Structure 1
Amino acid sequence: MLKGIYTAGSGMMLQMARQDVVANNLANVNTAGYKRSSTVASAFPSMLLSRLGELDTQTGIPQPQKPAVIGSLGTGACLGGIITDHSIGNLKLTHNATDIALSTPDSYLVVETPEGIRYTRGGCLKIDGDGLLTTNQGYAVLDEYYDYIYLEGEFAVDRDGYVTDNGEEIARLQVVSFDNQDQLERLGGSLLNTDQEPLLVENPEILSGYLEESNVVAVQEMVTLINVVRSYEALQKVIQSEDEATQTLLEEVGRV
């Protein structure tokens, strides 16, 4: 009976992890460049069940040396991992010069944070009071030499990432890709980190005046959330049933 409680309990923990991921997706549904996450379940080792004393079909005599295989019994599941959907979100026309979108799915802007170099697809940029080009979180956007980009006048960027200030070319955005996107570590919002060596993207195909929206589909996430809640409630009832059965067993043993 305790096995049933442990199995249901592990399932409830898995559903809690799924709920956290779905909640994070919904919280970032309006975050530019955010990529949807999803969970992968991993099963605990199953047990092979056999029946001893199987009767011989011809003689009817028990054959203890030939146990009959009944089947396998699952022992629960756990969170196997969290994967990221790197597909491009919808490209929204904003007509804002400081809004840019990377039209290739495997390319990233390079930004500097207090913790060091990080990467993002969030193209909602701004120019701070010192003329520094930053993300909307205030992180400096770096050029191809990993230097800051300062502007004094009107900002513009072409498809190849060249930045102009009042029509004069002053820098080129550092746009990179990676051999394995699945190894990118999520740090919150659209910010990413990795130990991989970044690869320079020669033709970044930047769209000025556009923003890449989150690829989260809110309705899909709500459906997933409903399924998570229902699964959690069902597993909760399993534990209650197991608890009641255990209580009944203890009472019966006490009478003996």
Structure 2
Amino acid sequence: MQSGYYSATGGMVTQFNRLDTIANNLANLNTNAYKRDDVAIGDFTRLFKESRDELPLEDNTREAAKFWNRAMDKVPIITEDYTDRSLGAFSQTNNPLDFALKNENAYFAIQTPDGVRYTRDGSFNLDAEGSLVTKEGYKVLSRSGIDYEGGITLDSTTQPIFSPSGRISSRNADGEIVDAGAVAIVSFASPEYLKKGANGLYEYAGKEINKDRELYTLNDDVLRQGYIEKSNVNAVLEMTSLIETNRLVDMYQKVMKTHMDDLNTEAIQKLAVRA
């Protein structure tokens, strides 16, 4: 068996998968609050060493050897994919219904047909009933209504004022300041369990959401009104990674071609002569 050929094939497939991640990052370069994804590349040996204690059979036994393919132990594979949650640049819009979150572990709670979801895209609107909604029409939940689908209703004739903690107020026709509740802004003890979905929404995949989720208090300085967080994708970095990945694919392709065209041909000719 030509283990080098299979190693090159595995390496090429890994780079194709990495290419998909880079392409998705570039496609979301201008998506509000988008967080770039990346991958860590390792080999089968690393995965085996990390998980062998969890195997059903003890190591160094004949039965356990079935889990260990020494001809494939150095094939490059994606061992981990992760999301870079660092803050993107803030862009001033002066729109009173645009918001940016200053803490990278902060999310708005949104009510969707599939349940509560979370987002960092604070580009909101008012619907016909005066409810604060996302661009897709999903209701933005209030701090007091996060567990029973309670939204936020604003008077479209007044300009709402949001404090840095998310408390909402407005001035009525008599000039009085009226309290309108607070927007639900949450953080997570284990943000790595947040799974990306459509329209910039996240679903929390942890088992104990009520334990891991924590509402920001009225004293927290987390909200910035009139600003939008942009994507944290660095176009130069992604293009550099794109070029590197393409070169690696080309290199693996040449290795595979050498194995198939040169080494196989030479082996067949020499074996035929000796026969």
TM-score bracket for this pair, using the shorter chain length: 0.7 to 0.9
Alignment of 1:195-206 (within 5 A): 195=206, 196=209, 197-202=212-217, 203-206=220-223
When the two structures are aligned, how many residues end up with a matched partner? 231
- Determine which structure has more spread, i.e. the larger CA radius of gyration: 1
Structure 1, unaligned runs of 5 or more: 47-71
Q: Distance in 2 between matches of 1:73 and 1:7?
A: 7
Alpha-carbon offset, residue 137 of structure 1: 2.7
| Residue pair 1:35, 1:190 contacting (<8 A) in 2 also | no
Please say which of residues 116-125 and 194-203 is displaced more in the overlay.
Answer: 194-203
CA, structure 1 residues 158+249, in 2 after alignment: closer, same or farther (shift >3 Å)?
same
For normalisation by structure 1, the TM-score amounts to: 0.84
Alpha-carbon offset, residue 253 of structure 1: 2.2
Could you say which residue in structure 2 is the equivalent of 1:172?
Answer: 182
Could you say which residue in structure 1 is the equivalent of 2:243?
Answer: 226
| Residue pair 1:95, 1:209 contacting (<8 A) in 2 also | yes
| Residue pair 2:7, 2:72 contacting (<8 A) in 1 also | no
Q: Identity of aligned pairs, percent?
A: 31
Aligned to 1:101, the other structure's residue is in SS state: strand
CA, structure 1 residues 133+114, in 2 after alignment: closer, same or farther (shift >3 Å)?
same
CA, structure 1 residues 118+98, in 2 after alignment: closer, same or farther (shift >3 Å)?
same
* 2:155 partner letter: E
Alignment of 1:19-38 (within 5 A): 19-38=19-38
| Residue pair 1:91, 1:212 contacting (<8 A) in 2 also | yes
Q: Distance in 2 between matches of 1:251 and 1:134?
A: 72
Alignment of 1:119-138 (within 5 A): 119-138=118-137
Aligned to 1:45, the other structure's residue is in SS state: helix
Structure 2, unaligned runs of 5 or more: 47-70, 172-176
Q: 2:267 aligned to 230, 249, 253, which one?
A: 249
Q: Distance in 2 between matches of 1:15 and 1:171?
A: 49
Please say which of residues 227-236 and 199-208 is displaced more in the overlay.
Answer: 199-208
**2:192 maps to 1:182:** yes
Q: Deviations over 1:172-209 (max 9, x none)?
A: 11111011222221124532111233111111521100
Alpha-carbon offset, residue 215 of structure 1: 0.7
RMSD: 2.0
Alpha-carbon offset, residue 38 of structure 1: 0.7
Q: Distance in 2 between matches of 1:143 and 1:232?
A: 49
Q: Deviations over 1:110-155 (max 9, x none)?
A: 0012211111111111112332211123221100122111223233
Alpha-carbon offset, residue 9 of structure 1: 0.9
* 1:29 partner letter: L
Could you say which residue in structure 1 is the equivalent of 2:17?
Answer: 17
CA, structure 1 residues 18+189, in 2 after alignment: closer, same or farther (shift >3 Å)?
farther
| Residue pair 2:106, 2:186 contacting (<8 A) in 1 also | yes
Higher helix share: 2
Higher strand share: 1
